Chain A
Amino acid sequence: EAGVVQSPRYKIIEKKQPVAFWCNPISGHNTLYWYLQNLGQGPELLIRYENEEAVDDSQLPKDRFSAERLKGVDSTLKIQPAELGDSAVYLCASSLLRTSNEQFFGPGTRLTVL
């Protein structure tokens, strides 16, 4: 069974440029998460989806970040414009059930903003 797929794996952009990350969760997983992981820190939740609905986006900086999950499968996270402080790893995770204690993580997209 394929795991969570993320692309690109690495992205280098200049500040003020837009950037987008894509995530394909494990087939059949209704819940999808986007996390931000800074160097030397644990993941921090940005947004959680139940199917197409964003049920928790309280930590998403909405002035520059946006996300969508069309058709309740793939998801895209966008930053526009990117700032130097956005350099981090962006992790996508999925779980089968809303109440599942096991989240399956993708390898992440490592973003560097110059």
Chain B
Amino acid sequence: QKEVEQDPGPLSVPEGAIVSLNCTYSNSAFQYFMWYRQYSRKGPELLMYTYSSGNKEDGRFTAQVDKSSKYISLFIRDSQPSDSATYLCAVSLNNNDMRFGAGTRLTVKP
């Protein structure tokens, strides 16, 4: 079993839609939860970071963590064509040993 499972998609939505991206993880010891965005031919960039269960908002993005279910989500409101990218979830035990999911490729169509 992989440490982090992520639906690879691809996911295609119309502009303005709400997007939901999800990951599950296997080890309840993971304490840090991140979402990275990776554009084609670029390196990943940190989008959201959370530590505890609950929601964290940043503009159109909301990260949600449910430690009891070992489930993390990223919601994108009012999606834009510029949001088209691969979204990678990542978990960590001690803040620097990240384990990444496979990534979900998202396309937002104008």
User: Which A residues lie at the B interface, using CB under 8 A?
Assistant: 4, 31, 40-45, 48, 56, 91, 93, 95, 98-108
User: Which B residues lie at the A interface, using CB under 8 A?
Assistant: 4, 6, 8, 32, 34, 41-46, 49, 88, 90, 92, 94-98, 100-103
A97 to B80 Cα, complex, angstroms: 33
- Chain B interface, DSSP helix/strand/loop, else mixed: loop
A49 to B10 Cα, complex, angstroms: 34
Q: Chain B contacts of A93 at CB under 8 A? A: 43
A95 to B95 Cα, complex, angstroms: 11
The answer to whether A40 and B96 touch across the interface, beta carbons within 8 angstroms, is no
Q: How many Cβ-Cβ contacts under 8 Å join chain A to chain B? A: 56
The answer to whether B96 and A42 touch across the interface, beta carbons within 8 angstroms, is no
Question: Which residue of chain B lies nearest to A44 when distances are taken between CB atoms in the complex?
Answer: B100
Q: Chain B contacts of A104 at CB under 8 A? A: 45
Q: Chain B contacts of A56 at CB under 8 A? A: 97
The answer to whether A107 and B41 touch across the interface, beta carbons within 8 angstroms, is yes
| Shortest Cβ distance from residue A40 to the other chain B in the assembled complex, whole angstroms | 6
The answer to whether B97 and A45 touch across the interface, beta carbons within 8 angstroms, is yes
